[in-house]
Structure formats: C-alpha cells, structure tokens
Chains A and B, each alone.
Chain A
Amino acid sequence: EVQLVESGGGLVQPGGSLKLSCGASGFTFSNYYMAWVRQAPKKGLEWVATINTSGRRTFYPDSVKGRFTISRENAESSLFLQMNSLKSEDTATYYCATRGQPGDYFDYWGQGVMVTVSS
C-alpha cells in the first residue's frame, strides 16, 4: 500500500524559512517523479513543485520560483520542500504526491501538513 507521510509544518513568521519532509513507502520511490500541492484554508488546490526521478530536474510555478526548492533522497525514500522568504499567502496545507506514470497528474497523496505564516 502506498503511504506518504508529511512532517515539518508549523507556525513561521513572514520572511522566515521552513523545510517540509515526506516519507514514502509501499512503492519504489526512485522510479517516480514526485510533487508538492498546497491548499490555502477553505480554498482550492495549487501545484507547488515537481521533481524528476534523479532529482536533477525541478519545476515550479512563478508564485514560488526562487523561494521554494524541492529535493529528494532516493536512498531514504524521502521528499523535501525547502521554503524560504515565506509570505502570508503561503499559509496552506501542503500535500506530498506521486506524479502519475506517465502523465502529470497527482496519483497518491499524503494526509497533508499545515504551514502558517503569521507574525
């Protein structure tokens, strides 16, 4: 059974940094592109980042490009999201997800982790 478990969320001040982690199990992690998707409170879904299997290629929307960095450690079946220069509009539940094979949809999702950016 595919399991994705996010951690590392919490309260951070505007301009601060936070690093999210996602532990994966139940599938061959190194064979899958991975992604982060977020959802602001009572709002819709927003794609945040995608990383290829080796970790050498990453993709971001303009809203987080230059501030967020997605990375992975295949040996540990772990995915990360380093978030810098955080803004209030980054407040959201962040979900770790597997990218589809072969399409760019989001197949399996974690339970999510809350990030609150506030002074």
Chain B
Amino acid sequence: KQEVTQIPAALSVPEGENLVLNCSFTDSAIYNLQWFRQDPGKGLTSLLLIQSSQREQTSGRLNASLDKSSGRSTLYIAASQPGDSATYLCAVIQGAQKLVFGQGTRLTINP
C-alpha cells in the first residue's frame, strides 16, 4: 500500500529565503507525481507535474525534482514571498489513476 510522507509538517521562514519541501513515498511504481498548493478555505491548485521518466520540472521560482528509485521528491522555492504562504501537498499517481496524498506542509513566509 502506497504511503506518502511530507516533512516538515510546518515551516516558517523569513521573506526572501530559499527553501525545500520534502516528499517521500514507499512504492516506486508510480506514473507521475504532482505538487499542489492549497490556500485556506480554497481548493487545490496544481503547481508542477513530474512524469515518472522525468527528473525535474520548473515553473518560475519553483523547481520540483523526482528520484523514483529512492522514493523522494523535493519542491524548491526560490526567493520566497509572503504570497507563497499556503499548504503544499505532494501526491503520487499510480496505475489505477488514484492520487495518494501526503498530509502536506504548512508554509508561512514572514515579511
């Protein structure tokens, strides 16, 4: 049974810092991995999708990496801003097209 773990559960950093969010999964037989952000009371916004054959994806200040063999993904946020404050969710997609989510990392960027 696939399990996804996100560390840390919460993170608070000053504005401008670069930071890394971690995601690990127990079963490396995944199709792809997707990072989402969720703002309080809102839905999930897709940030980056990494297919199993890829090593990384970039979008603006965000860079996500994937190491299938070790069951790990990281989300790197450069030059953090207060608007980046949200909960970040990692989810892996397996054969039955189910998304398996981690519990998320609650990120706070302090001005």
Partners in one complex: no
